[in-house]
Amino acid sequence: MAYLSSTGEFVDAPIEPRLARAADYRANRYHQAADEWEADWDYSGMLQDLDVMFKVGQDLANKPHLAGMEVRLGVRPGTRQERRSAPLIRPFGRT
């Protein structure tokens, strides 16, 4: 199974100051009285990540050889053996 992660160097600046700010936020303000949205937060990296994820998903969805396939995410088979043998992608309409 593949997982996406949004971390690493920033395009326009070194990551260390932003990591320090994030650590300070989690340690001192997260779920505290001072936990408020700030207008200067930079979401540009998240938007770039979402753009890449959307384009990959769109590209996969438009592949002719994947037409008629069904992806079952979030549906966990009951037993360990069922989990080991159940494919995540199977022909549509088959169980």
Domain boundaries, the chain: 11-37
Q: For residues 87 and 93, what is the distance between their CA atoms, to the nearest angstrom?
A: 14
Structure tokens at 19: 């990591």
Determine if the pTM surpasses 0.75.
no
CA-based angle 10:5:82, to the nearest 5? 170
Measured from the Cβ of residue 18, the count of other Cβ atoms closer than 10 Å reads 13
C-alpha 29/C-alpha 42 separation (Å) is 18
Strands (E), the chain: 69-71, 89-91
In this predicted model, what pLDDT tens digit does every residue of 79-94 receive, in sequence order? Answer: 777 767 766 656 555 5
pLDDT (tens digit, 9 = 90+) per residue, 13-72?
Answer: 788 888 898 899 999 999 998 888 888 888 888 888 899 989 988 888 888 777 677 666
